[in-house]
Amino acid sequence: MKTVLRIENMTFGFTKEKLLFNQFSLQLKQGEIKAIVGKSGVGKSTLFELILGHLTPIEGTIVAAKTSEVFQDPYSSFHPSYSVRRQIADVASLESLHYYLGELNIERALLEKLPHELSGGQLQRCSILRALLMTPDLLLLDEPTSALDNVVQLDVMKMLLKYLPQMGMLLITHEMDIAAWCADEIIRL
């Protein structure tokens, strides 16, 4: 299996006196899911910002394959003035749209609405839809099921795991039960 994420000896902090990561290394292969767990403020979301290239490490290297992300707060990941469908079409092919709508139990009519017209759970499923339609090699999942009720959480995680053979997944979660259930490795920060 190919490597979709390689972090080698990465050091990062917002100040040199207080490092979030010191010589941190991680490797993720296609077909693997690793969970990142830890208290608020330890750098879980910062790690994703580093992987996406929004932040630059002080030292070390990060090499990531084609990446998409599911953010914890779906309302902050969609522009409020454009339909959900338009925003998905701006970044992804809609070729497999019909298939994923069924997988995620999303009514097609929801895509024509503005983000604020959807519930948090509906918009989070649209966020997952967008990420999958981008056909990533690496899928970053930042608390992807936090806006969903417990039954839907499990269904969505089961659905995401169906696509694991095609990509690697890095999951941030506070839910140790979910991490223990699905992850090949749990990394505590």
61-77: pLDDT as tens digits? 999 999 999 988 888 88
Chain mean pLDDT for the chain: 90
pLDDT value at 145 more than 80:
no
Question: What pLDDT, on the 0 to 100 scale, is given for residue 125?
Answer: 87
Q: Which helix (H) or strand (E) holds 48?
A: helix 44-51
Tokens of 83: 């339909």
Residue 126 phi, psi dihedral angles, 5° rounding: -70, -35
Strands (E), 13-65: 21-29, 33-37, 59-64
- Give exposure, 170-187, as e/b (b: 16+ Cβ within 10 Å): bbbbebeebbeebbeeeb
30 or 154: which leads in pLDDT: 30
Question: What confidence score (pLDDT) does residue 3 get?
Answer: 96
Q: What is the pLDDT of residue 189?
A: 85
Q: How far apart are CA 179 and CA 163, in angstroms?
A: 17
Q: Bridge partners of 3? A: 29
pLDDT digits (tens, 9 = 90+) for 101-144: 988 889 999 999 999 999 888 888 899 999 999 999 999 999 88
Distances (CA, A) of 93 to 4, 19, 84, 134: 21, 39, 14, 7
* Sign of the dihedral defined by the CA atoms of residues 35, 38, 40, 45, in that order: negative
**pLDDT (mean) for 160-168:** 91
Distances from the Cα of 182 to the Cαs of 34, 109, 117, 164, in angstroms? 8, 32, 32, 11
Q: Is the pLDDT of residue 147 over 70?
A: no
CB 155 within 8 A of CB 122: no
Residue 184 CA to residue 34 CA, distance in Å, equals: 6
CA angle (25 as vertex; 184, 46 as ends), nearest 5: 90
